[in-house]
Amino acid sequence: MNYAVLTQRDNTNLHWRIFCECAQDRNVIFYYEGYFSQTIIAAVSDAVKMRTEQVGAANTTRRKLFSSFIEMTQNIIHYSVDAYVTQDNRQFNNEVRHGSICISTQAGRFYLHCANPVNAAVAHQLQQKLEHLRSLTIDDIKREYKRTLRSETPDDSKGAGLGLLTVARDASAPLEFEFTPIENSDHMLFYLKATI
Amino acid sequence: MNNLYIAPTASSPEIDLRFDARHFLIKGEAYPENAALFWGEVINSIRRFAEEDASVETLTVDVVLTYFNSSSTKMLFSFFDILNEKAAGDTPVVLNWYHDEEDDTIYEFGQELCEDFPDLTFHDHALQG
């Protein structure tokens, strides 16, 4: 591949083809990047349900994918630092936030990837929570899930403190994550991957 | 006390609390944007009813949820906690817990409820397909 051609402005078709081939090579079955709101999540949910059915995922797998999809996208709405702001302040909506979600598949396994920018404090909390979850066996995770279900909701949680535990419970391998510094910003890009 | 009906949306279930008929229904998918707000209304209604109701006639709850997110899970626990207290008194409470036969997550959550709220008369219903 001669990458020099990519810099030419009249090669938009080629750019598009490379983008599609890249998605195909990585077996991407679903990708959305942009603002998330509750309405968008509900609409995109429909697309995810149809797509996972179309590619022939087993019912149990589809349910787990859907569950993790909801937890991840609602986390974006709650914790992404990139909130949508319109020109009109009265229209400011703190519950519309930016992030991305991707579903890919390989050798019968499905992978959910999500990413969104977070502030340093949230990054620190997430890192601690996720490192802890990675140290647990699936039986430990189930026990912790039951314990958290019956305990008071932590102050720093906008849900029930059960979101990541739910994703970990449905995953067939430890959750993978990464924090990447964002240039000219104190924020970090949070990336999370679940294997279903 | 007035019945409470909430129509289903794409991300919240149908709620049909018929206090006069002593029958409650929760049906659909539950991943509301603000679980505390959505379930708060339901939980407050059931709590008020539980306090005011003096009858010992059986209360029946049909739960036909196909999905609920993590924050709704916790709210459901609070909902059944109130009904369990009612059942620990003199009012029998029957919980019909419906789920797809292949859905282990919802089946297992039903078992959790059954363990934690022993005063409820729990019936598990596995639905085909």
Residue-wise pLDDT for A55-73, tens only, equals 999 999 999 999 999 999 9
If we measure between CA atoms, which residue out of B119, B113, B115 comes closest to residue B79? B113
Closest Cα in chain B to A145: B70
Q: Looking at A23-27, A156-160, A173-177, B71-75, which range is the least confident one?
A: A156-160
**Which single residue is written with the structure tokens 């936030």?**
A97
Q: Can you give the pLDDT at residue A131?
A: 96
Chain A residues inside the 8 Å CB shell of B71:
159-160, 162-163
Would an 8 Å CB–CB cutoff place A63 in contact with chain B? Answer: yes
Q: Please give the average per-residue pLDDT across B5-24, as a whole number.
A: 97
pLDDT of residue A95: 75
Orientation angle between helical segments B70-88 and B104-116, nearest 10 degrees: 30
Q: What is the pLDDT of residue A155?
A: 62
A179-182 contacts: CB < 8 A, separation 24 or more? A179/A123, A179/A126, A179/A127, A182/A117
- pLDDT > 70? residue A88: no
B29 pLDDT above the threshold of 90: yes
What pLDDT is stored for residue A79 in this prediction? 86
Measured distance CA(B8)–CA(B93) in Å, rounded: 24
pTM: 0.90
* Residues paired with A113 in a beta bridge: A102, A193
Query: Cβ contacts (< 8 Å) between B112 and chain A: which residues?
Result: 146, 149
Closest by Cα among B12, B99, B63, B64 to A60: B99
Q: What is the mean pLDDT of chain A?
A: 88
Mean pLDDT of B96-111: 95
CB proximity under 8 Å: B 50-109 to A: 67, 69-71, 73-75, 77, 100, 102-105
Closest CA to A40 of A99, A92, A82: A99
CA A125 to CA A133: how far, in whole Å? 12
